[in-house]
Structure 1
Amino acid sequence: MNGRNFNTGIPGVDFLITFLQGRVQRARSGELDRGASAVEWVIISAVVVAIVGAVAAIINGALDTGANKVKDCIEGADAGSTC
């Protein structure tokens, strides 16, 4: 095959051979590396989103704890004491 026109006379087989020749040529040229790069970016983005979510959960928990402490202090406060 090697770049030569290949004709079997059967359109389906001719299409399949042409398609496969194109795929082999793309694989040899290194053009398929773009897909690997896109997958790497998706993985990196997912890790960043997970880290941001974890940090947000930690901050939210700390704020809830602090707010509850302030609420308890206000509810239990009297004129002669401080929290």
Structure 2
Amino acid sequence: MPEISSAEIAERAISIMNKRITNEIFLIVQNDRTLMKEYLRAVEREGLDTVNQTIGKKVRQKYQLTNSDRENNPTCTLIQSHQKFE
């Protein structure tokens, strides 16, 4: 197995995280009692699709990510799918 540089290790790890980041953000919301209450209130006011799309867009903007494909089997139960990023 060829050796890879520390920079390549970092790039690969970041690439993996970029594909998971939306799911991870939703897991944070799901597992934080206060955030979950606010999330449910926002869903009542704005609708599920609007809230989830807004959260996804904010993640993309905050980390300046580029859309990749979709994840259709997230581990978070708040979403059925999410955008992956490069």
The structure in which a higher percent of residues are strand is 2
More contact order relative to length (CA 8 Å, sep ≥ 6): 2
TM-score, length-scaled by structure 2: 0.26
Larger Rg: 1
The structure in which a higher percent of residues are helix is 1
